Chain A
Amino acid sequence: MTQAGARTWIRHFRSAAWLGWQVESNWADPYIFAVYALARPLALSLILVAIYSVVSGGALHGDRFAWIYVGNAFFVFVPLMLVGVAWTITEDREQFQILKYIYASPIGLFTYLAGRAVTKFVTATMSCIAILLLGGLVLGVHYHTTPLLALAGMVGFVFGVIGTFGMGLLLAGAGLVFARQAVNLNEGAAGVLYLVCGAVFPVDTLPGFTRYVGFLFPLTWWLEGMRRSWLGVRAAGMVGEIPDAVIFAVLAVSAVAWYAFGAWTYRTLEHRAKQQGLLDRTTAF
């Protein structure tokens, strides 16, 4: 890419990011938007707290609670970023009916989606931090790390975001091709990941072969990596027996692989959408 090309790309990216911010936030003043951004993830965390409290008879201390809590905190990137990226396609095609115009412009849908994802990333990060703060300040979650784990955690965080974005691209491609039910597909995908990736219970809890499905996704490695870097606590069961270095190494490889796969799938489905004239199709009922 030449320098001029890079400048153009940055300009396109910035426009898409600005648009993403406008779309997400222009309906309310910044304070209300902040509440909105935090209410859902905090409520989800409190549901888990309530469930744990019901089972433990009110006790919220200990490694097991902290493990669940921190996993859930980082899982917010899934609905906000992964589903959010895919939702952009449906929203722009069905609701605003401008997808065809975006596509016909030189920005390119890929850059457009990346830019639109920026606001979702920022919102997800704010939510995650808020949940972690609530855990530490109110719920007695004890955070503990070492310099090496902290560094690994920071690098691992970046890979996790890359992997999540890659999976979001895959769903966005599906959104181009499938009907408006792609929205439910996105939500369902988040449900699958919540189930198999050890977000709030050890994967060993799942029956039979399903306990191994989560290993295919970078999210499983990411959540475990984040827990270890923030808490120094390991999962119960087979994931807990995997050394730290392996966790972070597999995270890096699988995140890059999923990003590549997601991007390739997106391009393939985009091509199919163009062939079938689906870019401006509305299917609302």
Chain B
Amino acid sequence: MEWAVETKALRREFAPSRQTGKNATGEARGARPAPVVALAGVDLTIRKGELYGLLGPNGAGKTTLLKILTTLLYPTTGEARVAGLDVVRQAVDLRRRIALVSGGEYSGYGILTTRETLWMFGQFYGVPNKEARRRADELLEIVGLSDMAGARINRLSTGQRQRLNFARGFVSDPEIIFLDEPTLGLDVNAAREVRRYVRRWLAARDTRTVVLTTHYLLEADELCDRVSIIDRGRILATDSPMGLRGHVRTGRRVVVEVSQADGLGEALGALAGVTNLRASPQPEKNTTQWHFTLEQGSHIAQVLELLSRRGVIPVNLTTHDSSLEDVFVAIVGRALEDEA
């Protein structure tokens, strides 16, 4: 089977530069520190037609992996193939079939208009003039910049530049597109439009593949067919977002809101299967919210029985499955926003 992307024991080390000054204990630095391991042996396979996500905190190795897959960086050891082509030995042929979009601020050539910019990048991919212009106009419409088609880039806001950068990646109609944090810095509506477009683009042709890196859990959850959780250069788990939740017994989250709380906490805590209990007073409503986790969803019956026995009528009761964030914390051992 030809995978869209396949890596075997992919490893990448960076030799750090000699440090100057003094370290925390006041000793002079001088010796070259050990290499930084950005990828510590990554094995992954991505099917054609898949929308694949790489989820991890800053410094996890996501961008390094994407740079290798898009021929910008060589691996230290290991192999990687994209569209069946070796990223090192067949890079020239590979580049005709891929595109890369890096999120964050895009500088570009301030002197060109948005339409000219997209047309120009079309030229680098050999897109005929007329077709390049058509695609440019279409993409500007999609990212909401059609009224800025004649505006120079140096007049665009940061968000507009980022949307243009996103559009640039699609002008060549690649077989596989690598999106490195594509919604970074975009507002909610723009990010939603980007996600919607990615799904539509993928669905339009079954030979297309999208590889997305993100540290937005919602994005990975909402968008991806499969997600790999990566941290410190290693893939820790790979599955669909639903499947990942199943990997980890994180239970069911429950919130019970009651108008009186005398002794209720103690009683709830004593129930079997209730963990992570905490109270959240709501003085404006004169109520208390009790947050806890049930190891098994069926234990909700015990909670209801307890409330009934004590004559407590809940103002509100909600339950929901564990989120991807819960999965991430359970697998990685810390929250996404915590420092590595």
Give yes or no for direct A-B contact (beta carbon below 8 Å). Answer: yes
CA distance A179 to B109 in the complex (A): 12
**Is residue A284 within 8 Å, beta carbon to beta carbon, of the partner chain?**
yes
CB-CB under 8 A from B112, the residues of chain A are 285
The answer, yes or no, to whether B304 is at the interface (CB within 8 Å) is no
Interface assignment of A8: CB less than 8 Å from any CB of chain B = no
Asked if A145 is at the interface (CB within 8 A of a chain B CB), the reply is no
Chain A CB within 8 A of B111 CB: yes
- Is B123 an interface position by the 8 A CB rule? no
Residue of B nearest to A277 (CB): B155
- Bound-state Cα–Cα, A281 to B157, Å: 11
Query: Would you call B246 an interface residue if the criterion is a C-beta within 8 Å of the partner chain's C-beta atoms?
Result: no
In the assembly, what is the distance between CA of A284 and CA of B110, in Å?
A: 6
Q: How far is the CB of B258 from chain A (nearest CB, A)?
A: 50
Closest to B152 in A: A283
Evaluate contact between B107 and A281: CB separation under 8 angstroms: no
| Chain B hits for A284, CB < 8 A | 107, 109-111
B323 within 8 A of A: no
Docked complex Cα distance between A283 and B111 (Å): 6
B111 partner residues in chain A, CB cutoff 8 A? 179, 283-285
Task: Give chain A nearest CB distance to B105 CB in angstroms.
Answer: 8
Count residues of chain B with CB under 8 A from any CB of chain A.
6
- Mask, B109-123, CB within 8 Å of A = 1, is 111100000000000
- Give the distance to chain A from B211, nearest Cβ to Cβ, in Å: 28
Q: How far is the CA of A97 from the CA of B112 in the complex (A)?
A: 18
A281→B111 CA distance, assembly (Å): 10
Residues of B within 8 A of A97 (CB): 107
CA distance A285 to B154 in the complex (A): 12
- Interface flags for A274-285 (1: CB within 8 Å of B; 0: not) read 000000011111
Tell me whether chain B's interface is mostly helix, strand or loop, or mixed.
loop
Those of A146-198 within 8 Å (CB) of chain B: 179
In chain A, what residue has the closest Cβ to B109?
A285
Q: Is the Cβ of B107 less than 8 Å from the Cβ of A283?
A: no
Instruction: Please name the residue on chain A nearest to B158 by beta carbon.
Output: A280
Give how many A residues have a beta carbon under 8 Å from the other chain's beta carbons.
7
Query: In the assembled complex, which residues on chain A have CB atoms less than 8 Å from the CB atom of B109?
Result: 284-285
1/0 contact trace for B74-109 toward A, CB 8 Å?
A: 000000000000000000000000000000000101
Q: Which of A54-98 contact B (CB under 8 A)?
A: 97
Nearest-neighbour CB distance to chain A for B220, whole angstroms, equals 30
CA distance A285 to B117 in the complex (A): 12
Distance between A127 CB and nearest chain B CB, rounded to angstroms: 27
Q: How far is the CA of A285 from the CA of B109 in the complex (A)?
A: 6
Separation of A179 and B110 alpha carbons in the complex (Å): 10
- Chain B residues whose CB sits within 8 angstroms of the CB of A179 once the complex forms: 111
Q: How far is the CB of B304 from chain A (nearest CB, A)?
A: 57
Complex: A116 Cα to B299 Cα, angstroms = 69
With both beta carbons as reference points, the residue of chain B lying nearest to A278 in the complex is identified as: B154
Hey, which chain B residues are within 8 Å of A281, CB to CB? 110, 154
B232 to chain A, nearest CB (A): 30
A281 CA to B154 CA in the complex, in Å? 6
Shortest Cβ distance from A26 into B: residue: B20
Contacts of B110 in A (CB 8 A): 281-285
Q: Which A residues are CB-close (under 8 A) to B154?
A: 281-283
Q: Would you give the shortest CB distance from A126 to chain B, in whole angstroms?
A: 23
A41 to chain B, nearest CB (A): 29
* C-alpha gap A137/B111 in the complex (Å): 52
CA distance A176 to B15 in the complex (A): 38
Query: What residue in chain A is nearest B107 (Cβ atoms)?
Result: A282
- In the complex the two chains form, what is the Cα distance from A281 to B112 in whole Å? 13
Min CB distance B4 to A, Å, is 35
* B155–chain A nearest beta-carbon distance, Å: 9
State the Cβ distance, B154 to closest chain A Cβ, in Å: 5
Q: Mark B189-217, 1 if CB is under 8 A from A, else 0.
A: 00000000000000000000000000000
Complex: chain B residue closest to A282, CB-CB: B110
The CA-CA distance from A285 to B113 in the complex, in Å, is 12
Q: Write the chain B residue with the least CB distance to A281.
A: B154
Contact bitstring B43-56, A, C-beta under 8 A = 1, else 0: 00000000000000
B156–chain A nearest beta-carbon distance, Å: 11
Tell me the B152-177 residues at the A interface (CB within 8 Å): 154
Interfacial chain B residues near A282, Cβ < 8 Å: 107, 110, 154
CA–CA, A282 and B110, complex, Å: 6
What is the minimal beta-carbon distance from A148 to any residue of chain B, in angstroms? Answer: 48
On chain B, the residues within 8 Å of A285 by CB distance are 109-112
Cα A284 to Cα B107 in complex, Å, equals 9
**Interface residues in A88-111 (C-beta closer than 8 Å to B):** 97
A284 to B111, CA, bound (A): 7
A17 CB, nearest partner CB in chain B, Å = 18
Separation in Å of the A234 CB from the closest CB of chain B?
50
A283: B residues at CB distance < 8 A? 110-111, 154
A282–B152 alpha-carbon span in the complex (Å): 11
State the Cβ distance, B85 to closest chain A Cβ, in Å. Answer: 33
A119 to B172: give the CA distance in the assembly, Å: 47
A200 to B275, CA, bound (A): 87
User: Residues of B with Cβ closer than 8 Å to A?
Assistant: 107, 109-112, 154
Contacts from A to B (Cβ < 8 Å): 97, 179, 281-285
12 extra A-B contacts, CB within 8 A, seeds A282-B107, A283-B154, A284-B110: A97-B107, A179-B111, A281-B154, A282-B110, A282-B154, A283-B110, A283-B111, A284-B109, A284-B111, A285-B109, A285-B110, A285-B112
- Closest CB pairs A-B (n = 4): A282-B110, A283-B110, A285-B111, A281-B154
Interchain residue pairs with CB less than 8 A apart (18)? A97-B107, A179-B111, A281-B110, A281-B154, A282-B107, A282-B110, A282-B154, A283-B110, A283-B111, A283-B154, A284-B107, A284-B109, A284-B110, A284-B111, A285-B109, A285-B110, A285-B111, A285-B112
